[in-house]
């Protein structure tokens, strides 16, 4: 995936975000997932917006990411718009 990022394949951001969010427990890093999802969202990747919306809706206590319903709504609405 990192090679794909170097080649400017925008969907790789969403894939890397998924890797850091849904991987085995020892590899989960929500902060890194947010970093890559945010990059994907900048390229109008609907799935990145969806995942950011879910993260901000739920919050992540272990990584001190507070719930942010306004930010969640923004990303979820953008995900719907992008289809």
- pTM value is 0.87
* 65 φ, ψ (degrees, to nearest 5): -105, 110
Radius of gyration of the CA atoms of the chain, in A: 12
**Distance, CA of 59 to CA of 29 (rounded, Å):** 13
**Residue the block writes with tokens 């990059």:** 39
Q: What is the pLDDT along the chain (83 residues), one digit of tens a residue?
A: 566 555 567 778 898 999 999 988 888 999 999 999 999 999 999 999 999 999 999 999 989 999 999 999 999 999 999 98
């Amino acid at each position: 995936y990192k090679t794909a990022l170097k080649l400017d394949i925008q969907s790789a951001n969403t894939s890397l975000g998924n890797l850091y969010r849904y991987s085995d427990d020892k590899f989960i890093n929500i902060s890194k997932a947010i970093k890559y999802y945010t990059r994907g969202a900048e390229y109008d990747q609907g799935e990145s917006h969806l995942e950011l919306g879910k993260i901000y809706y739920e919050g992540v206590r272990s990584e001190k990411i507070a719930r942010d319903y306004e930010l969640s709504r923004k990303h979820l609405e953008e995900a719907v718009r992008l289809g």
